[in-house]
A and B are shown apart, each in its own frame.
Chain A
Amino acid sequence: MNIFSLIGKYFLFIKKVCSRPNSFLVFYKSFLNEVFVLGVSSIGFVAFVSLFVGAVVTLQIAYNLENPLLPSYLIGLATRDSIILEFSPTMISLILAGKMGSNIASTIGTMRVTEQIDALEMMGINSASYLVLPKIFALVFFNPILITFSMFLAIIGGWFFGDITGLCSTTEFLDGVQYFFIPFNIFYAYIKTVFFALIIATLPAFYGYFTKGGALEVGQASTKGVVNSSILIIIFNYLITQLLLN
């Protein structure tokens, strides 16, 4: 299948997904379930990664700012901007693409090969909308919460490890975090997060939905879903940055 027919097939799939749910009660219940299965279950993982990467970012910045003419509060400032602009929205989204994307593609792929999707269609249910729309809403709703959480924890991680290693005192770090703060950066981070959430929810679902065969093909669909959503995240990261920050 060439790239153009694949893109066309993807948008036809999205059109099918975005139709009105058969029952709003079922949709609401599925949405809450997906928020828990995909979102809430990722909190621990996101917290762990954010805390330590925040620490590493601070240590690396401190390592690169050894010049005594540069004030130490720059460590806090650079840590904050690195985390808000890039680490939390992009890197955490890439990590979530792996965790959530493989879950979505393998769940839907298994439902396809075990005829559960055919069973839904036979009941007169729009299977694409029934299975995928709650995931899209769940991720668009919950990923910004996860990213906010990640930003806070990464900055806390940077402050804590910067302080206990003696590279940057609490006062200097907090001064840096508050210095020359641009609120638009937060808006930019959320715009990226929402775009990435749409990619993470739809692309693995697309590969899972059109799986043919058995266990091997479900694995392949899961891999394709994760790899291609990661590639799209990288590309959209550049495009959104070009549009919003230049």
Chain B
Amino acid sequence: MIEVKNVVKNFGENIVLNNISATFFPGKINLIIGRSGSGKTVAIKSMLGLHKIDSGSISFNQRDFSSISKNEQQNIRKEIGMVFQGGALFDSKTIEENLMVPLIMFSSMTKEEMKSRINFCLKRVNLENVNNSFPADLSGGMQKRVAIARAIVLKPKYLFCDEPNSGLDPYTATVIDELLKEITYEYNITTVINTHDMNSVMQIGDHIIFIKEGQKKWEGSRNDIMSSQNKDLNKFVFASEVFRKLKELS
């Protein structure tokens, strides 16, 4: 479980996160939604310690991540998998080498065991025979799947995804969503996804937090969205004609 309490993050005069509090549960897809520039990416990067917060606390299973030393943070990070918006695969390394990096660094596996784990993870994300390819040889969707495979290779307790569907066609986006959902339930991972893709929200959002201008405006499940009276949320979620009609129908 991840607990975020009264987190404030400023960049100079600009308040990007304003007193955000939330709890993210294991075995659930936790979504942070909001318009572009609302502070979603900063929220995720602050949770991971990539941005230093100005006040508040972030704890992973009662371990206060925001007040511990860099070395202790590194130890917690070994339990975290992250899928970046652009995949962030190491482009000078093959797919197998990309997945090998965390294994060599932090596992005591033999080379054969590592290869077996890599093949398992690649198969889990429906990719095979790409071990010797370079990231540039793969499509955007395949790169995202490799990024997911790399994120789960060390069997993380926490999985963070920053807009995993950005730049993907609707079908591939659905494939990625389903994959994240399956992995979360199968391994009981605390998954936190940052998105503004409404299809993802409706398809996989077990627990959703809506942020506007750095402030938490709403919290609930995908089923609650349809009946919500929150004006800001409704303006964001039902921005398109299709979703407005869907709401009327429900």
Instruction: Please report A residues at the B interface, Cβ cutoff 8 Å.
Output: 22-23, 25-26, 107, 111, 114-116, 118-126
Contact = CB atoms under 8 A, between A and B. Distances in A.
Nearest to B98: A119
Given A123-B106, A124-B75, A124-B105, 13 more contacts: A22-B106, A26-B105, A116-B88, A118-B45, A118-B82, A119-B82, A122-B81, A122-B82, A123-B77, A123-B154, A124-B106, A125-B105, A126-B74
Contact of A119 (B84, B92, B154): B84
5 contacts: A23-B104, A23-B105, A111-B90, A122-B48, A124-B75
B78 A115 contact: no
B170 interface: no
Contacts of A125: 101-102, 105
Contact of B102 (A107, A121, A123): A123
Interface in B66-110: 74-75, 77-78, 80-82, 84-86, 88-92, 101-102, 104-106
A71 to B, nearest CB: 55
B74 A115 contact: no
Nearest to B160: A122
A126 B75 CA distance: 11
Contacts of A114: 86, 88, 91
A124 B88 contact: no
Contacts of B101: 120, 123, 125
A121 B160 CA distance: 14
A123 B78 contact: yes
Contacts of A122: 48, 50, 77, 80-82, 160
A125 B77 CA distance: 9
A121 B84 contact: no
Q: Which 7 A-B pairs have the closest CB atoms?
A: A124-B77, A119-B88, A115-B88, A122-B82, A124-B78, A124-B74, A115-B84
A119 B86 CA distance: 11
B74 to A, nearest CB: 4
A115 B160 CA distance: 14
A23 B84 CA distance: 24
Most buried by B among A23, A25, A114: A114
Nearest to B48: A122
Given A122-B77, A122-B80, A115 B105 contact: no
A114 B45 CA distance: 15
B41 to A, nearest CB: 10
A115 B102 contact: no
Nearest to B45: A118
Contacts of B77: 121-124
Contact of A26 (B50, B91, B104): B104
